[in-house]
Amino acid sequence: LAKTTQPISMDSYEGQEVNITCSHNNIATNDYITWYQQFPSQGPRFIIQGYKTKVTNEVASLFIPADRKSSTLSLPRVSLSDTAVYYCLVGVYLLGGYNKLIFGAGTRLAVHP
């Protein structure tokens, strides 16, 4: 079971780049790395997913080193609306094609004016 470890909380200011690193030392060959974002009183929302190297979309970038034992979510120029909990997940791939996602405690990002 690939357990993830990420900082409990982070603080930043508007306009700064935020990097949240997650460690997943026991990641399996089949596992993808996925990040979700959750605002208060809402369900988690998919941000980005990757397997190796770098992935970029309109919201964030995901950097994954060659050994895949860690990953870094990068949020460019954050705003107050980026204040949320960010979850790093590694799917547990079971027989039959089931990819079970295990949510950890997440990282509480607070963006200040």
Partner 1 sequence: DAGVIQSPRHEVTEMGQEVTLRCKPISGHNSLFWYRQTMMRGLELLIYFNNNVPIDDSGMPEDRFSAKMPNASFSTLKIQPSEPRDSAVYFCASSPRLAGANTQYFGPGTRLTVL
Residues 20-49 that bind partner 1 (CB under 8 A): 32, 34, 41-46, 49
Q: Where are the alpha helices (DSSP H) in 1-113?
A: none
Of 86, 87, 100, 96, the closest CA to residue 28 belongs to 100
Task: Determine the 3-state secondary structure of 81 from DSSP.
Answer: helix
Give min distance, CB of 15 to partner 1, in A: 29
Assign 3-state DSSP to the chain and report helix, strand, coil percentages, each to 5. 5, 50, 45
Residues 61-90 that bind partner 1 (CB under 8 A): 87
Per CB under 8 A, the list member of 17, 19, 28, 51 interacting with partner 1 is 51
- Report strand pairing: 33-38 vs 45-50: antiparallel
Give min distance, CB of 85 to partner 1, in A: 10
As a whole number of angstroms, the distance between CA 100 and CA 60 comes to 23
Q: Does 7 bind partner 1 (CB under 8 A)?
A: no
Cβ nearer to partner 1, comparing 54 with 112: 54
Cβ nearer to partner 1, comparing 43 with 113: 43
Summarize as ranges the residues that interact with partner 1 (CB under 8 A). 32, 34, 41-46, 49, 51, 87, 91, 96-106
